[in-house]
Structure 1
Amino acid sequence: MTRLIDLSVVTRHTPSEATPVTVDLLDHRTGATVLGLSPEDFPDGMAISNETVTLTTHTGTHMDAPLHYGPTSGGEPAKSIDQVPLEWCYGPGVRLDVRHVPAGEGITVAHLRDALAAIDHRLAPGDIVILWTGADELWGTAAYLTTYPGLTGEGTAFLVEAGVRAIGIDAWGLDRPMQSMIEEYRRTGDKGALWPAHIYGRTREYLQLEKVANLGALPAPTGFTVACFPVAVGGAGAGWTRVVGILDED
């Protein structure tokens, strides 16, 4: 038997989003007038509904494509979300427990090695790694925007150079919170403090899955498959994604 575990948040307006989400509803009765008919022309006095949604491609659970990080990756034009190979979006899942890393701090190579050792797993090409920070418990609050650790540039390189094409996190972003990075940059003048995980994608192609959720529902850190196919928004740097954990159970 196959069991599916939803690893996505609901896309909606919430204090956990940095930008607003608006949904304008065309209800079942009004839908008839758009077609030049009346509700009474339809069975049960109702036509069909529709919604107009205004949001960014980085709203809700989504995938960042290489184009989001810069115009080139490895010296070649960076792929937009509609150019991402589907093969990169389906593979063995690896949940790494980094819940002990304090909010605002970086998830280092040492943290990743320790998490891998704890589950006795060796990374393989095609693995989809998801970082379990526990930050999704804050979903629905403004604290979700600022209270989580983020992957370092070195940590990103460690995963990608092991053959990982997609890295997910159950937090607002893969890098540390925006304010933490900006404060470090202003204090040190080091440009490398700004979005290092993202900017590593200018060196080697990889995908980010941000605002993943519900990782505690996975029964084990490995032994599941991740499906994370993005909406193919032409020429965009990101696309909304329903991330699902797939388990084959006897």
Structure 2
Amino acid sequence: MTDLNILLVGGTGSIGRHVARVATAAGHSIRILSRRGDGADTVRGDLTDPASLADAVRDIDAVIFTHGTHGAEAGYRDVDYGGVRNVLDAAGDRPLRIALMTAIGVTYRDGAYNRSNRAHDWKRRAERLVRASGHDYTIVRPSWFDYNDDDQHELHFLQGDTRTSGSPADGAISRRQLAEVLVTALTSDAANRTTFELVAERGPAQTDLDPLFCALEPDAGIDGAKDADNMPVSDEPASVREDLDRVTPRA
């Protein structure tokens, strides 16, 4: 396994804290983005301020995004989407391996939740930026955190984003296992350029995730493999189309 210098975005959150422990145990070096930057493993920077991210991206090999916000649409636009855009812009042409966490059901646009704040739409736009960027990546869409029963740890990777109830009926995953998948994906060739929904079913946790990664269909284009074609780029806001064009490498 190659030891990586990882920028962790969202490292002070409930998922990020698990990611930091898992990545450190695997031998990686972690740099946690923080607005205060007052910890031993932190670097000062604000996701909504591109100019503040130069130190955060210096000499990194990989980025794990576990950040997120709640509330009005502006937060999802500026943080969930804008944070990914700003880190990619700050990194420039530096080769990166990216692990991005979004959410199960992110392509379902007609639910009450997305209609109220467009959270899914903005998270999906963040996915598209990562795919368009030319960087190596894995996009993980976790189900409901820590709704697992005690015997529910067998991981399943799904594609097509067909679970759209907007409730724990869509599936459950422990925060710890989600962190393990995000970190493991960074050094798995089979995980590269894949997007999947992550759930746990009854059974023991697998010790080797590569067979699960190998069974995935790789992405082709700016949406995940098997995703619904229900968000035409031509209908997107001009600023989003401009962002996509800017991050896309030139031949």
TM-score (norm 2): 0.26
Structure whose alpha-carbon radius of gyration is higher: 1
TM-score (norm 1): 0.26
Structure that is richer in helix per residue: 2
Structure that is richer in strand per residue: 1
Of structures 1 and 2, the one scoring higher in RCO (CA 8 A, sep 6+) is: 1
